[in-house]
Every structure is written in structure tokens, then in C-alpha cells.
Chain A
Amino acid sequence: MDTKKTSLYQLHQDSKAKFVEFAGYQMPIQYSEGIVEEHKFTRSHSGIFDVSHMGQLFIYGDEDLTNDLEKIFPLDLKNLKLNHSKYSFLMNKDAGIYDDLIITKIEKGFLIILNAACKDNDFTILSQLLNDKYKMILDDKRSLIAIQGPKSAQILNNIINGVQNLNFMTGNWFVFKEQKIYITRSGYTGEDGFEVSISNDLAVKFTKDLIEKGAKLIGLGARDTLRLEAGLCLYGHELGKDKTPVEANLKWAISKERILKGNFIGSDVIIKQLADGVNKIRVGIKPEGRVIAREKTKIFNQSDLHIGEITSGTFGPSVNGPVAMGYIENEFSKKDTKVFLEVRGKKHPANVCGLPFYKKSYVKGAN
């Protein structure tokens, strides 16, 4: 099967991107300045990320839809205000995670942003669960462009007046070149920023405008180091069908209201795990030296017992050292627990640590 290209493919190529195949798409992993510079630029200025490979699922319906979605997602959707967003997951009945997602209440329905590698499967699962009762559009005519970093509000506001008044995890429709674009104040880098859903034919013009105002294109490589420093999960690494949201240490994303009442897919397991605890849990891991513990690195305790595994590990440019996340047996998950990471046959000391590695600077809005 041919790999797919986003609307910005030519612009990436003109910007000297190195490409990698990701979830069936040709995506830029980095540009000429390299991952470390791109990462730092995002933290200090404003980075543009083409995330058009991600799924934009529009579901339209009335109160019945809200009720039906509450049987699927562990969210209090009845009280989700118009243009407000929540982080959540699509689970199986054992609370294993099919995908993590952002769901936003829009007029007459919901917009759900899905991972690229999961979106088609998610669509199938949701269609079945909703019995094809509602209009569902997995919209590939729209691009998704994220703008992340402390200068993003100012830069974007120069192009789309009013976006700087959005609060974190809220959105709204704006107009660009006489077309409606949907912008949320959100992102996945640990920085203040926005995600812009825009029709494909305007994506290049919009991105060029951002570049002209001082933002720079950033590849998936830096997106990964940024999200890891921010302690955020990546599907296929920290999250998967063999892990639950409680094990992933994401119980903050489960509505307390809904835990009391249950009645969503996976609720039995979630409620039990919240009451009884879990055997393994996601933690941050900070190696003491400079050695990088990559995915699948084994974690040992001080008695040399195998107690866990790294799910993501890299060098954090803002931390200026190695950072990792992994799953560890619950009794060793306390902050500052000393552990050992087996890299190339040698055991290297590390410590369980709190997340994020890099402190977030989300703003509540400029007003």
C-alpha cells in the first residue's frame, strides 16, 4: 500500500525535512536544524507541527448521542460545556486502551481527535457501539496543525484575531480566508499552544503565514522528546490494549461522577482497580548518569529482581539529560525509589521520579 501524504508534504520537502513512515503516512521526523534545536525552539519560541495524520472524527446527534457516548467514555459528557475539551480513552470491556483521544463538545455533536495508527479501527469500533445511529465523519478533507510554545498565542493572534482569549482545553470556530477553522487551546508538548483544524486547501497558506510571523516547522522527533519531557503518554508505548487507564496513572482523566455510577465500557475493571490498587503502574524514571534507556529496557530493583520495563526513553534537550517512562511493580513505584536499568548488558542506576520532567507552562488565557 502506498504511504499517504499530508497537505503539507511539499512544504516539508521544500523545508528540507527528513521523512519517516509513521502510521502509513510520510511524515517529517526532523528538518535541517535537528531534533535538539527544534525542541529548544519550541520551548523558547513557537513550533509548528503537522499532525494531519491524526483522525478528526465529527459525530453529530442530540441528547441520545450524549447518553450513548457516556456508555463508552468515562466522562461526564452531559455537563461538558460547548467548546470545552476533555482527554479520554476508548477502552475494551477489560479497560484495555484502544486509543487515547481528545473529545470536544461542538454544536450538534462532538469532535474527537484520534491517533493516526488507531483512527480507522476506532471508527469501526465506535460505529458498531453506536449502531450506526449517528452521522459520523472521519474527515480527511481537513488538516490538523499544532502551534506550540510560549510565543504561539501572540503569533497566531496576529493571523486569527481573538485566539489569545481562549482558555486551556477550550476551542471555537474562527475564520481564515473566508473559511471556518476550528481552534482549540491544547497540545502535547507541555507548552501553551493551539491545534487548528483547517481545510486541506488552506493548510499550506496558513502554515506559511505562521512561518512568516516567526514560528518554525518542527518534526515528529522533537514532538516525541517534548511530550516525553512533559510526562505525556504515547499510544503504542505507554498505552495499549494490555494496559488500563489506572495502570497508566491517568485516573485524573476519569470523571469522579462516572466512577460512582459506572455503566461505561471497562467500568467494572476501573472501579475494582481504583479500590484495590494495581500490580503495575506507569512512572517516570530518571537515569543517574547520561546513559539512555530506550523502550523495552528492563528495570531491576536493588536485589536484582526484574520489576518492570521502560516504554519510552530518550535524551531530554531541556532537561539536558536522559529521561524515561515505564511500568513498574506497584510496590516500587514510590518517588525516589532506586532502580537499575539494563542497557547493553550493564546495570545503570536510576530513580523513580514524579512527572513531568519539564514543568509545564500552560496558561489559563491572556484575559
Chain B
Amino acid sequence: MSSVKYSKEHEWITLDGDVATIGITKHATEMLGDIVFAELPEKGSNVEKDGTAGVVESTKAASDVYTPVGGEVVDTNQAIVDDPSKINEDPEGSAWFFKLKMKDKTELDSLMDKEEYDKFAKESAS
């Protein structure tokens, strides 16, 4: 498994072979507050890099979830749909959103590593 990469839209991504697992960062959950609703892309659907691939809602507002890379959705995490509070509890672990089969692995190149993302998140929060 490769190391974790991050997007400017506050998603994280890991790669295992050509299957990417995608979720939202702890920083994103802290900005959103209590998450009470999650909608995920349909299994078998194709999503484009930087396109919308779901929605999360806090008690305050709805936010789109974007996918940092494109491909075919091969799995989604029903557990977070059934209990969205899991996203606040373990955003970068068990509360992943969806897995997709990547078409073009070079799409990963533009993403940030942990150090870059932490710096980015800190700046965008202030």
C-alpha cells in the first residue's frame, strides 16, 4: 500500500494496486462539525477527477465530496451512510467513503503529501 495523499478539497487517498480508497480528512470533519448525513456514489458508476462523488451534511450545512482521482467506483462504505457520526470518530480510518479502480495513476502526482497538506490546511483555516 502506498502512502497517503491529500487534495485541496480535503480528501485523502491511498492506493492498493490500482484500487484507490478515498475519504475526507480529520481537518475537514473539524471544519464541518457533527456529520449527520452522507451520500456516496453508486457502485459501478464512473467518476471524473475533481468531480463530485458524494455529499456530507453537518447540522449546519451540506458540502459536496469531490474525488481527487477518476475511475470506476468498485465499493462504497455503507456503515457511514447508516451512521454518519462514524465519520467524525475515525475519518482517516474506518470511515472511508468509496473505493475506485484508477484509470490514470499520474492523477496522483498533483496531490499533496501529509506535510504539504498539514501546512495547506493550517493556512486555509486561518
- The answer, yes or no, to whether A240 is at the interface (CB within 8 Å) is no
Contact bitstring B78-92, A, C-beta under 8 A = 1, else 0? 000100110000000
Which residues 288-333 of A have a CB within 8 angstroms of B?
Answer: 290-292, 294, 314-315, 317, 322
On chain A, the residues within 8 Å of B58 by CB distance are 35
Partner of A35, one of B34, B39, B57: B34
Contact bitstring A5-37, B, C-beta under 8 A = 1, else 0? 000000000000000000000000110001111
Query: How many residues on chain B are close to A (CB under 8 Å)?
Result: 15
- The answer, yes or no, to whether A344 is at the interface (CB within 8 Å) is yes
On chain A, the residues within 8 Å of B59 by CB distance are 35-36, 221, 225, 314-315, 317
- The answer, yes or no, to whether B28 is at the interface (CB within 8 Å) is no
Complex Cα–Cα for A344 and B52 (A): 12
Q: Smallest CB–CB gap between B72 and chain A, Å? A: 22
Q: Which residue of B lies closest to A294 (CB)?
A: B62
Which residues 214-242 of A have a CB within 8 angstroms of B?
Answer: 221, 225
Complex Cα–Cα for A215 and B59 (A): 22
Partner of B37, one of A29, A35, A315: A315
On chain A, the residues within 8 Å of B62 by CB distance are 292, 294, 344
Complex Cα–Cα for A78 and B74 (A): 71
Label chain A's interface by main secondary structure.
Answer: mixed
Complex Cα–Cα for A300 and B60 (A): 24
Complex Cα–Cα for A29 and B58 (A): 13
Which residues 32-62 of B have a CB within 8 angstroms of A?
Answer: 33-34, 36-37, 39, 55, 57-62
Which residues 14-36 of B have a CB within 8 angstroms of A?
Answer: 33-34, 36
Cβ A36 vs Cβ B36 within 8 A: yes
Q: Which residue of B lies closest to A344 (CB)?
A: B55
Complex Cα–Cα for A225 and B58 (A): 12
Give me the interface of B with A, judged by CB distance under 8 Å. Answer: 33-34, 36-37, 39, 55, 57-62, 81, 84-85
Nearest 5 A/B pairs, CB to CB:
A315-B36, A36-B34, A35-B59, A34-B34, A292-B57
